[in-house]
Amino acid sequence: MPIKRKYNVKGTKDFIVLAGIFFFLCLWSIKDAWYPAPKVVEKHPREVAVSFKTAGSIGQLHVAEGDSIGEKQLLAELRQVAMREEFEQAKKEYTEAKNKHTLLTEAGRNAAKNGASADGIAELAKSRDAAQADMDAALEKVDEVRAQIDATELLAPTKGTIKKVLVTTHEQVEAGETVMLIDPRDHFYLFNKSLAIFSFIAFWVFLGIHILAH
């Protein structure tokens, strides 16, 4: 009479434990992949809206729908003709104020070296201080206009793909108005979807092993 053999895998409880772990991992992955919490969406947005910080007319679009972009890549520009002229004028005025300040500073040194009167030296020092104030004001103007020009350049906040362009060249836009939508190159959702599928398969594999082992 043949001897009945019973196959038993040692430690089969480990398989049911693993099945349980992958079951809950699958549920967690499904939640984050398809039903993310608001905080998750905020950290990993499905699309990113971009806009100019100032109002103006679209001067040039550097990308089109479907283009892949890098972080800080120039996407579009507002018309800058008037601002560029103002910027060049501001730089010219700053250079003139700086040269005047340099000349008055040198004149004061020479006056003191050559034994000029106290009143003369004081007058030169007063003029130099006034030139310093003019130079500082001119530099502030240069920085101000440069900041305005920077605001007319739209840079990509993240890597990704241009999903939609909502404006055309020469179109007037307001500050904060969405002009493009970007599909960010964020693998968070794809990873969680893949993890959900893997965990689902692993759950059934380990559950099956546990059942067969008994």
pLDDT at residue 9 greater than cutoff 80: no
Same domain? For 138 and 162 the reply is no
User: H/E element holding 50?
Assistant: strand 48-51
Question: What angle (nearest 5°) sits at the alpha carbon of residue 65, between those of residues 63 and 70?
Answer: 50
Task: Please give the torsion angle defined by the CA atoms of residues 51, 53, 56 and 61, in that order, rounded to the nearest 10 degrees.
Answer: -40
DSSP, residue by residue, 148-203: HHHHTEEE-SSSEEEEEE---TT-EE-TT-EEEEEEE---HHHHHHHHHHHHHHHH
Query: 90-140: per-residue pLDDT in tens?
Result: 999 999 999 999 999 998 888 888 888 888 888 888 999 999 999 999 999
Query: 47-69: per-residue pLDDT in tens?
Result: 999 999 888 899 999 999 999 99
Same domain? For 213 and 114 the reply is no
Determine the structural domain holding residue 190 and report its residue range. 1-44+186-214
Same domain? For 93 and 144 the reply is yes
Same domain? For 157 and 75 the reply is yes
Same domain? For 162 and 137 the reply is no
